[in-house]
Structure 1
Amino acid sequence: MVSERGLQVLRAIVQDYVDTREPVGSKSIVDRYHFGVSAATIRNDMALLEDEDLIAAPHTSSGRVPTDKGYRVFVDHLAELRPLSPAQRAAISSFLDAPGDLDDLLMRTVRALTQLTGQVAIVQYPSFARASVTHVELVDIGGGRVIVILVTDTGRVSQRVTFLRDELPDGAVTHLRAVVSGLIVGVSVREGSQRVDAFLAEHAQDAASSSAVSAALQLARVVAEELEEFRQDRMIMAGTANLARREADFRGSIYPVLEAIEEQVTLLRLMTEMVADEHGLSASIGRENAAFGLAEASVVASDYDATSGVARVGVLGPTRMDYPTNLATVRAVARYLSRLLEEDESAC
């Protein structure tokens, strides 16, 4: 059983190792921290921490470094989130000020996070499966080409050009817009997908009956594909190059980490499965990520609120990271993001 002083020694080891990248010895702890005990007593505390697999010796030196389990205890019980400086808060506000649309806002978000933390930044898109379609627009640009535009109440916009087999006669696009709008406007993306599928099944044999029916079916298929895209979980990342700059912090090669983050489905599953605390903060550290190919990396994240539910924003990097600062940063960015989305919803 680790004593309270032993846990404070663990805190000191984590903080010093993150700051210096050097194994931490008993003498440096005595010199830097005022525990009021001898170096011999600190060495005994360190021996108990090592028995609990909270610290380890990387080689024959007297210094110790935190293990994944040690980082976990630090994050769960010992880390105190560091308040962001006025300059950091101003940077977040500047990065996220006056975004063009949701895509632009989330791109700004990951850029802000990677600038502030030096880690790989990750933002989940809100789940659009529960979002409602608020508007459909069809724009005939001639030559049988029609721009299909879908808008949801969460700010997601889809725009796609489709090529019809025949040019539309005058007034046809207005009728087609009414048909498509009647299927999906005012209902959830999920229900809209079901309605479009039912429409396609009902009229599958009618394509040859007229050019108008054929065009309606073509457009319905395009709408079905776009709604299916809305239903897929998505994420956006920035700062992957930071991994190369931090290569010395990985015990082995960084290539498995690079390969893992290329698989967005894997990262999305990890982000979704992380368990948040009462403040919406979560961390997954080292070996806890082995199933996702990220056994030498950590992810810290914070929930943010969107119209369709909760999504996450976070950073990924080596296990040797500044957890208090990174957790505080993702929390601050998440809160700012939630506020912007709430203001956007209110404006609508």
Structure 2
Amino acid sequence: MVSERGLQVLRAIVQDYVDTREPVGSKAIVDRHHFGVSAATIRNDMALLEDEELIAAPHTSSGRIPTDKGYRVFVDHLAELRPLSPAQKNAIGAFLADTGDLDDLLVRTVRSLTRLTGQVAIVQYPSFARADVSHVEVVHLGGSRIVVIVVTDTGRVSQRVAFLASEPTADETAHLKLSAASLLTGKSVRDGAAAVQRLLEADAAPGRDDNLRIVLRTLAEELEEFRQDKLVMAGSATLARREADFRGSISPLLEAIEEQVTLLRLMGEMVAGDHGLATSIGRENEPFGLAEASVVAGEYDVTGSHARLGVLGPTRMDYPSNLAAVRAVAHYLSRLLEEDEQSR
């Protein structure tokens, strides 16, 4: 059981180690934090923290650094999050304002978050299986080339170029658009995908309206992409710059960023606490092959459901500031999506 002063000493060690990257000794704690007790008393507190495996000595006769367990206790006992400055809040609002579609907004979101934290920023697309298709467009680009556009009521826009079996006339292009729109508009992505698949299977004979069949296959591919979990990320280069902060190789982190599946699983299993925030620290991520990293995540609201955004970096990160940044950006993103929904 850690005493209240022991928690204060742990906080001091975490804060100083994050700030300086150097092991923290008892004298430095006395000098910097003014506990009103002697260095010998602080050494006793540190010995108890070490017994609890909350801090460790990286070298003989050195100061102490937090362990993964120590960071967990530190985060769990945070009295409050470090508030963002007015300048930081204004920067978030300005950077996310006047965005185009949802894709643009999420790209700006991760860029804003990585600027605030200096970590890899991650945002999860909402689940579009529950979104409704609000608009379908087929545009003739010349020759046999068309572009098929699908828009959902959540603001997601997808477009895909396809090549028809023959060059369409203006009337045929209008017919292709009407057929696609009447099939999908007002349906959920899930139901729309099923309707397209049924029509493709029912009309599989070769030579029967090949151009319409190509449009349907293109729609099926677009809707399937909507249904898949997807991440947007920014700041991957920061991992290389922070390589000294990791105990081992950063290769598993780079692989996870490239493949995304691991990060999607991890973020999906993180348990949120107060304010919808969650952390997963160091060895807690071992089942995902990411024992060298910590993830801080928050939830944002979209059309009655939740998706997550967050940051990934070394365990030696500024948790209070990163949690505050994630919470603030999630709040702005939720508000912008709500305003967009109300304006539709």
Instruction: Please report the TM-score for the alignment, with normalisation by the length of structure 2.
Output: 0.96
Partner of 1:171: 171
Partner of 2:46: 46
Partner SS, residue 275 of structure 2? coil
Partner of 1:337: 333
Partner of 2:287: 291
Partner of 1:56: 56
When the two chains are superposed, the root-mean-square deviation of aligned CA atoms in Å is: 1.4
Letter of the 2:59 partner, please give it.
Answer: H
Separation in 1 of the partners of 2:48 and 2:254? 36
Letter of the 1:315 partner, please give it.
Answer: V
Counterparts of 1:184-333 in structure 2, within 5 Å, are 184-205=184-205, 207-209=206-208, 213-307=209-303, 309-333=305-329
Q: Is the 8 A contact 1:79 1:323 kept in 2?
A: no
Q: Is the 8 A contact 1:128 1:231 kept in 2?
A: yes
Q: Is the 8 A contact 1:287 1:296 kept in 2?
A: yes
Separation in 2 of the partners of 1:161 and 1:175? 18
Partner of 2:153: 153
Partner of 1:24: 24
1:158-198 deviations in whole A, cap 9, x for unaligned?
11121111222441222222222222110110111111111
After superposing on structure 2, the runs of 4+ consecutive aligned residues of structure 1 that deviate more than 6 Å are none
Structure 1: any 5+ residue segments left out of the alignment?
A: none
Between 1:31-40 and 1:109-118, the stretch displaced more is: 31-40
Separation in 2 of the partners of 1:254 and 1:158? 34
Partner SS, residue 238 of structure 2? helix
Letter of the 1:327 partner, please give it.
Answer: L
1:22-67 deviations in whole A, cap 9, x for unaligned?
1111111122223332222221211111111111111112411000
Q: Is the 8 A contact 1:286 1:297 kept in 2?
A: yes
1:51-90 deviations in whole A, cap 9, x for unaligned?
1111111111241100001101111113531111111111
Partner SS, residue 300 of structure 1? strand
Letter of the 1:129 partner, please give it.
Answer: A
Separation in 2 of the partners of 1:323 and 1:12? 13
Q: Is the 8 A contact 1:154 1:308 kept in 2?
A: no
| Alignment partner of 1:133 is 2:133 | yes
Separation in 1 of the partners of 2:318 and 2:140? 54
Partner SS, residue 331 of structure 1? helix
| Alignment partner of 1:3 is 2:3 | yes
Is the alpha carbon distance of 1:180 and 1:203 closer, same or farther for their aligned partners in structure 2, counting shifts above 3 Å? same
Q: Percent identity?
A: 73
Partner SS, residue 131 of structure 2? coil
Between 1:48-57 and 1:248-257, the stretch displaced more is: 248-257
Partner of 1:144: 144
Between 1:219-228 and 1:251-260, the stretch displaced more is: 251-260
Partner of 1:346: 342
Instruction: Please report the TM-score for the alignment, with normalisation by the length of structure 1.
Output: 0.95
Letter of the 1:294 partner, please give it.
Answer: L
Partner of 1:107: 107
Separation in 1 of the partners of 2:17 and 2:90? 29
Separation in 1 of the partners of 2:62 and 2:176? 76
Separation in 1 of the partners of 2:56 and 2:275? 31
Separation in 2 of the partners of 1:138 and 1:263? 32
Letter of the 1:43 partner, please give it.
Answer: R
Separation in 2 of the partners of 1:171 and 1:79? 67
Q: State how many pairs are aligned.
A: 344
